[in-house]
């Protein structure tokens, strides 16, 4: 019994090859048998049936060939399930289309539409039409429409709406864009809007049709046929261009034709007809009935004027001669090649009317001057602005002006929303600096003379004010944008007028080329890219790179210029938890001073439209807390900055570099803050023609009443409230 396993093992070793081969053969036979059982039965082969022709009727070759062949009667009965052949497949010249729904159309990818109404208006007429359309859509009982959203083009970030469609509150909803646009022959926000659409289309980083997710779009333009009788002559030209760029960005989703109206004749009727047509467009788009891209049998939908042409939105390039006449291309400076030689602010323009209504005197075609409230206050002995507390400039001796009313930002706290021109490049006529210089002085003196009859104006200060001693180039716009800014500065300095120039850190080339100024400011409104975009709303797409480059240029200029960071604090935008970020920027640029000021709310509807209300204005205690946090952050980085002075009435506090401006002087060995400027020394250094540093014209010690903790109001002046009543000083 125990030997049996060993015997079997011996047999296996002797005959294992034969056993394995036999098993393999057996399995192969089983596999073949299973395969044969699964194969369908084949019909029996037979000779083809003879072709039978009916000789009683005339036959053609085509008739014979197209006559179906009867199946052979000798086919096996096992093939009864097979259908007889219907002959060779006939191919017809018809394009195969997708299966349609019972209504003959495909179902839409969305159930509802969210209208977005975009408008631009200087005089307010286009805004009223947009508001009327907005209200009519809100009152619509159509379940197809979500509540309409109204947008002022001056108050939005284009990237939020024109690089990709905005998100809708409903998962099966799609935005529908309605654009209401006037036409102006001056530089306005519309020019920047058109440039943005063009740049988006040509940006290789963005999809070819980034707005293809829209349900559709339609444009309505307002123009003046008396001035521009036809489209070729300029009637509604900006609306026409926007319509064409939108066609490209959406992939041809024009849901209703471009509407136009003459503002002097029947604009209401034309707009009403267009509005009624929109209702049909909404229904057709949601029902997937198409976007009107042609009717079957009518030929190509786009037979001419294709919007996919290479020219820019329909602007045809000039015709060239024969190929033999073509010469080598001439290098082109694309920053100036498209410059439009026209005034920035013509006297007949709405911009001119709006700015003059706000108290500006427009000088030439692009400059301006305005008397500020602190000048009026100083004339009546009611105090000067923070520049007097910090730097020794009496406000009644100061002229506030700008050689460029245009800016490249749309800051939320700007007082001139939608009124001053905006652009990223200079594209207007350039007034000579000597004419600007004369015009600014004349405009300022004219405004000072208008104060001579105001109650409370002091005679001695009125006489002093007739000699300008300081110019603050910070009124509106971007002064450094003016091509001849250095020549204008030299003219001011020649008459011993000191200069404070403020720029917005978006023009690094101009900043690098800037000549001597008494003090150079750079507005620092945020500490990071996201916040800067939110609060300054810059026009340049590379705004952050430009900003950082300006920081590096400012660091280089700290040995030749008194440099200042100007921080405007806006609650809810750039205060919360940003002290560390601002400290990093200070470490990068090493400015002489850091001015921290709470935003001033002007109370206009345009400011509210930009998202700014009184709730965004910080209290002085909040500004003080921020300055203390910033000082601590700078000390942590080893930077010796300290709180030097304040002007509580302006909600403004000054940080200064201790290593340069906390010092003793010839008459007093005690170290004190020296933030004031010795203006005669500045002009002496300037006229010497030699290199000089900011330390060479440091003035006397900062007065005691201006130091941190003392309020910063000159005790020789009289404080009053808004109604002119004297404010009693606290006895504590």
Q: How does pLDDT run across 643-696, given as a tens digit for each residue?
A: 999 999 889 999 999 999 999 877 778 899 999 999 999 999 999 999 999 999
- pLDDT at residue 455, rounded to an integer: 83
- pLDDT at residue 495, rounded to an integer: 96
3-state SS class at 470: strand
**Domain assignment of residue 456, yes or no:** yes
The first and second tokens of residue 273, run together, are 């007809």
H or E segment to which residue 363 belongs: strand 361-363
d(CA 433, CA 489): 9
Q: What confidence tens digit (pLDDT) does each residue in 494-507 have?
A: 999 999 999 989 99
- pLDDT at residue 719, rounded to an integer: 75
Which residue among 265, 286, 307 closes a domain?
286
Beta strand ranges found along 202-316 (DSSP E)? 216-223, 259-262
**Domain assignment of residue 10, yes or no:** no
d(CA 353, CA 359): 10
CA distances from 519 to 212, 379, 406, 444, 470 (A): 50, 24, 22, 21, 11
**Domain assignment of residue 353, yes or no:** no
The first and second tokens of residue 458, run together, are 């002091």
d(CA 624, CA 614): 18
- pLDDT at residue 5, rounded to an integer: 66
- pLDDT at residue 144, rounded to an integer: 84
- pLDDT at residue 721, rounded to an integer: 65
CA distances from 24 to 11, 31, 378 (A): 19, 11, 114
Out of 595-599, 601-605, 619-623, least confident range: 601-605
List the CATH number of the domain containing 185: 3.40.50.360
Residue owning tokens 């560390």 = 580
CA distances from 169 to 15, 98, 142, 172, 366 (A): 80, 31, 17, 9, 44
Do residues 527 and 498 touch, judged by C-beta distance below 8 A?
no
**DSSP symbol at 266:** S
**Domain assignment of residue 223, yes or no:** yes
**Domain assignment of residue 731, yes or no:** no
**What is the average per-residue pLDDT within 116-142?**
88
Query: Which residues neighbour 221 within 8 Å (Cβ) at sequence distance 6 or greater?
Result: 181, 182, 183, 236, 238, 239, 240, 258, 259, 260, 261
> What's the CA angle centered on 81, arms 77 and 86, to 5 degrees?
105
- In three-state form (DSSP H/G/I as H, E/B as E, the rest C), the secondary structure along 95-141 is CCCCCCCCCCCCCCCCCEEEEEEEECCCCCHHHHHHHHHHHHHHCCC
**What is the average per-residue pLDDT within 401-423?**
78
- pLDDT at residue 610, rounded to an integer: 52
Do residues 326 and 333 touch, judged by C-beta distance below 8 A?
no
Query: Which residues neighbour 497 within 8 Å (Cβ) at sequence distance 6 or greater?
Result: 399, 468, 469, 470, 471
List the CATH number of the domain containing 445: 3.20.20.70
Q: Do 449 and 587 reside in the same domain of the chain?
A: yes
Q: Do 426 and 574 reside in the same domain of the chain?
A: yes
Query: Which residues neighbour 45 within 8 Å (Cβ) at sequence distance 6 or greater?
Result: none
Q: Is the pLDDT of residue 436 over 50?
A: yes
Mean pLDDT of the chain: 80
Among 454, 517, 526, CA closest to 489: 517
pLDDT band at 602 (very low <50, low <70, confident <90, very high): low
Question: Between these two residues, 685 and 18, which has the higher pLDDT value?
Answer: 685
Q: Do 408 and 535 reside in the same domain of the chain?
A: yes
Q: Is the pLDDT of residue 56 over 90?
A: no
Q: In what order do the strands lie in the sheet with 173-182?
A: 149-152, 112-119, 173-182, 216-223, 259-262
d(CA 581, CA 566): 15
Question: Between these two residues, 105 and 132, which has the higher pLDDT value?
Answer: 132
The first and second tokens of residue 296, run together, are 């079957």
Domain of residue 654, residue span: 383-706
d(CA 113, CA 303): 30
- pLDDT at residue 10, rounded to an integer: 76
- Count of domains forming the chain: 2
**What is the average per-residue pLDDT within 182-211?**
84
Residue owning tokens 């030097």 = 644
Q: Is the dihedral of CA 343, 347, 350, 352 positive or negative?
A: positive
- pLDDT at residue 551, rounded to an integer: 96
Q: Do 414 and 552 reside in the same domain of the chain?
A: yes
What is the widest separation between alpha-carbon atoms in the chain? 140
- pLDDT at residue 367, rounded to an integer: 94
Question: Between these two residues, 419 and 115, which has the higher pLDDT value?
Answer: 115
Q: In what order do the strands lie in the sheet with 498-503?
A: 361-363, 367-370, 398-402, 470-473, 498-503, 519-523, 563-569, 593-598, 652-657, 641-647
Out of 211-215, 219-223, 225-229, least confident range: 225-229
**Domain assignment of residue 102, yes or no:** no
Out of 129-138, 289-298, 467-476, least confident range: 289-298
Please state whether beta strands 519-523 and 361-363 pair in parallel, antiparallel, or not at all (unpaired): unpaired
Q: Is the pLDDT of residue 40 over 90?
A: no
**Domain assignment of residue 334, yes or no:** no
Question: Between these two residues, 680 and 41, which has the higher pLDDT value?
Answer: 680
Q: Is the pLDDT of residue 263 over 60?
A: yes
3-state SS class at 148: coil
Q: Do 278 and 387 reside in the same domain of the chain?
A: no
Out of 48-52, 117-121, 314-318, 717-721, least confident range: 314-318
Q: Do 404 and 266 reside in the same domain of the chain?
A: no
CA dihedral 357, 362, 366, 372 (to 10 degrees): -80
Out of 149-153, 175-179, 717-721, least confident range: 717-721
Q: Is the pLDDT of residue 106 over 50?
A: no
DSSP 415-453: S-TTTS-B-SS--S----HHHHHHHHHHHHHHHHHTTTT
Q: What confidence tens digit (pLDDT) does each residue in 536-582 have?
A: 888 888 999 999 999 999 999 999 999 999 998 888 776 766 889 99
CA distances from 412 to 61, 88, 198, 619 (A): 84, 74, 25, 18
**What is the average per-residue pLDDT within 511-532?**
92
d(CA 420, CA 211): 30
Q: Do 577 and 696 reside in the same domain of the chain?
A: yes
DSSP 568-636: EE-TTTS-TT-HHHHHHHHHHH--SEEEEEEPPP---HHHHHTT--GGGSPPHHHHHHHHHHHHHHHHH
Out of 201-210, 236-245, 445-454, 671-680, least confident range: 201-210
d(CA 713, CA 693): 30
d(CA 32, CA 685): 109
The first and second tokens of residue 556, run together, are 């280089």
Which residue among 228, 255, 286 closes a domain?
286
Q: Is the pLDDT of residue 84 over 90?
A: no
Q: Do 280 and 388 reside in the same domain of the chain?
A: no
**Domain assignment of residue 439, yes or no:** yes
Q: Is the pLDDT of residue 92 over 70?
A: no
d(CA 595, CA 226): 51
pLDDT band at 418 (very low <50, low <70, confident <90, very high): low
Q: Is the pLDDT of residue 30 over 90?
A: no
- pLDDT at residue 48, rounded to an integer: 45
What is the chain's length? 732
- In three-state form (DSSP H/G/I as H, E/B as E, the rest C), the secondary structure along 77-88 is HHHCCCCCCCCC
H or E segment to which residue 72 belongs: none
3-state SS class at 53: coil
d(CA 166, CA 185): 31
3-state SS class at 233: coil
Do residues 711 and 730 touch, judged by C-beta distance below 8 A?
no
595: Cα separation from own chain's centroid: 27
- pLDDT at residue 698, rounded to an integer: 95
Percent of the chain, pLDDT > 90? 42
Q: What confidence tens digit (pLDDT) does each residue in 342-369 have?
A: 888 888 888 888 888 888 899 999 999 9
- pLDDT at residue 319, rounded to an integer: 34
Alpha helices in 450-536 (DSSP H): 459-465, 485-494, 508-512, 529-536
Q: Is the pLDDT of residue 54 over 70?
A: no
- pLDDT at residue 45, rounded to an integer: 43
Q: Do 539 and 647 reside in the same domain of the chain?
A: yes
Q: Do 393 and 504 reside in the same domain of the chain?
A: yes
Q: Is the pLDDT of residue 280 over 90?
A: no
Distance between start and end Cα atoms, the chain: 121
d(CA 240, CA 228): 14
- pLDDT at residue 435, rounded to an integer: 96
Q: Do 261 and 390 reside in the same domain of the chain?
A: no
């Amino acid at each position: 019994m125990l030997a049996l396993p060993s015997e079997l093992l011996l047999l296996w070793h002797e005959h294992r090859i034969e056993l394995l081969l036999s098993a393999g053969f057996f399995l192969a036979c089983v596999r073949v048998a299973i395969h044969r059982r699964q194969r369908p039965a084949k019909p029996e082969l037979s000779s083809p049936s003879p072709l039978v022709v009916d000789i009683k009727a005339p036959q053609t070759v085509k008739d014979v060939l197209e006559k179906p062949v009867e199946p052979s009667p000798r086919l096996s009965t096992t093939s009864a399930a097979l259908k007889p052949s219907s002959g060779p497949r006939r191919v017809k010249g018809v394009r195969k289309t997708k299966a349609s729904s019972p209504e003959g159309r495909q179902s839409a990818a969305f159930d509802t539409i969210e209208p977005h109404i975009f408008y631009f208006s200087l005089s307010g007429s286009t805004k009223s039409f947009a508001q009327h359309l907005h209200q009519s859509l809100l009152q619509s009982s159509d379940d197809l429409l979500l509540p309409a959203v109204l947008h002022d083009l001056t108050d939005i970030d284009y990237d939020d709406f024109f690089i990709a469609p905005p998100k809708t509150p409903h998962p099966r909803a799609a935005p529908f864009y309605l654009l209401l646009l006037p036409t102006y022959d001056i530089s306005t926000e519309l020019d920047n809007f058109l440039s943005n659409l063009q740049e988006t289309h040509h940006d290789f980083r963005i999809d070819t049709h980034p707005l293809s997710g829209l349900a559709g779009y339609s444009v309505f333009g307002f123009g003046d046929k008396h001035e521009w009788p036809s489209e070729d002559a300029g009637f509604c030209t900006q609306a026409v261009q926007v319509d064409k760029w939108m066609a490209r960005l959406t992939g041809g989703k024009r849901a209703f034709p471009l509407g136009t109206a003459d503002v002097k004749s029947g604009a209401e009727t034309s707009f009403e007809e267009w509005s009624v047509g929109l209702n049909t467009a909404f229904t057709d788009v949601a029902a997937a009935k198409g976007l009107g891209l042609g009717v079957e049998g009518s030929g190509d939908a786009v037979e001419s004027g294709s919007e996919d042409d290479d020219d820019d939105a329909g602007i045809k390039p000039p015709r060239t001669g024969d190929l033999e006449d073509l010469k080598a291309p001439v290098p082109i400076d694309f920053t100036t090649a498209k410059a439009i030689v026209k005034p920035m602010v013509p006297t007949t323009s709405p911009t001119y009317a709006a700015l003059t209504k706000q108290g500006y005197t427009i000088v030439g075609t692009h400059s301006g001057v305005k008397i500020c409230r602190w000048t009026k206050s100083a004339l009546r002995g009611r105090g000067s602005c923070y520049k007097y507390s910090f730097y020794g400039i009496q406000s009644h001796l100061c002229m506030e002006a700008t050689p460029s009313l245009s800016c490249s930002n749309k800051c939320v706290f700007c007082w001139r929303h939608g009124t001053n021109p905006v652009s990223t490049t200079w594209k207007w006529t350039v007034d000579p600096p000597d004419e600007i210089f004369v015009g600014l002085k004349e405009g300022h003196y004219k405004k000072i003379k208008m104060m001579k009859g105001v109650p409370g104006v002091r005679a001695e200060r009125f006489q002093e004010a007739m000699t300008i001693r300081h110019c603050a180039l910070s009124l509106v716009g971007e002064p450094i944008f003016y091509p001849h800014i250095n020549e204008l500065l030299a003219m001011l300095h020649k008459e011993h007028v000191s200069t404070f120039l403020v720029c917005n850190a978006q023009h690094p080339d101009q900043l690098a080329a800037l000549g001597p100024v008494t003090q150079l400011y750079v507005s620092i409104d945020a500490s990071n890219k996201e916040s800067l975009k939110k609060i300054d709303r810059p026009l340049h797409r590379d705004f952050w790179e430009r900003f950082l480059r300006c920081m590096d240029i400012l660091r280089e200029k700290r040995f030749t210029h008194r440099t200042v960071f100007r921080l405007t604090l806006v609650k809810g935008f750039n205060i919360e938890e940003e002290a560390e970020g601002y400290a990093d920027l200070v470490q990068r640029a090493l400015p002489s001073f850091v001015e921290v000021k709470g935003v001033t709310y002007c109370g206009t509807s345009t400011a509210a439209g930009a998202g700014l209300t009184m709730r965004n204005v910080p209290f002085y205690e909040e500004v003080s807390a921020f300055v203390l946090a910033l000082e601590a952050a700078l000390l942590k980085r080893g930077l010796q900055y300290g709180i030097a002075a304040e002007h509580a009435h302006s909600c403004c506090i000054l940080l200064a570099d201790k290593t340069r401006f906390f010092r003793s002087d010839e008459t007093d060995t005690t170290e004190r803050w020296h933030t004031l400027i010795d203006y005669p020394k500045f002009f002496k250094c300037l006229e010497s023609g030699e290199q000089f540093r900011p330390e060479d014209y440091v003035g006397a010690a900062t007065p005691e009443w201006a130091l941190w903790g003392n309020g910063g109001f000159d005790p020789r002046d009289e404080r009053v409230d808004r109604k002119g009543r004297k404010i009693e000083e606290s006895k504590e």
